[in-house]
Structure 1
Amino acid sequence: MKRPLLTALLSLAGLALAQGKAPVALTLTMNLVSSVKVDGKTTEQLTPNPGSVLPGQVLSQVVTARNTSAALLRNVPITLPVPKNTVYLAPEQGLGSARAEYSIDGGKTFAPAPLKKTVTVSENGKAVQKVIEVKPSEYTTVRWTVAELGAGQTLKLGYRVQVK
Structure 2
Amino acid sequence: MKTRTPILLTALLVGTALAQGAAPLSLNLNMSLVRSVKVDGKVTEQFSPSPSNVQPGDLISQVVNVRNTGSRSIKNVPVTLPVPKNTVYVAPEKDMSVARTEYSIDGGKTFAAAPLKKKVTVTENGKTVTREVEVKPNEYNAVRWTITEINANQTLKLGYRIQVR
Per the normalisation by structure 2, the TM-score is: 0.95
Looking at structure 2, the residues matched to 140 and 101 of structure 1 have their Cα atoms a distance apart, in angstroms, of 11
Alignment of 1:1-164 (within 5 A): 1-4=2-5, 5-16=7-18, 19-164=20-165
Amino acid at match of 2:34: V
Looking at structure 2, the residues matched to 64 and 22 of structure 1 have their Cα atoms a distance apart, in angstroms, of 15
Q: Does the aligned pair in 2 maintain the 1:12–1:83 contact within 8 Å? A: no
Looking at structure 2, the residues matched to 13 and 36 of structure 1 have their Cα atoms a distance apart, in angstroms, of 30
- Where 2:12 maps in the other structure, the secondary structure is helix
Q: How many residues align?
A: 163
Superposition deviation, residue 35 in structure 1:
0.8
Looking at structure 1, the residues matched to 153 and 118 of structure 2 have their Cα atoms a distance apart, in angstroms, of 40
Amino acid at match of 1:6: L
Looking at structure 2, the residues matched to 14 and 22 of structure 1 have their Cα atoms a distance apart, in angstroms, of 13
Amino acid at match of 1:86: T
Superposition deviation, residue 20 in structure 1:
2.0
Amino acid at match of 2:143: V
Identity of aligned residues (%): 61
Runs of 4 or more above 3 Å deviation: none
Cα RMSD (Å): 1.0
Which stretches in structure 2 are left out of the alignment for 5+ residues?
none
Render the CA deviation track for 1:74-115: whole Å, top value 9, x for unaligned: 111011111110000110011100000000001000000000
- Where 1:97 maps in the other structure, the secondary structure is coil
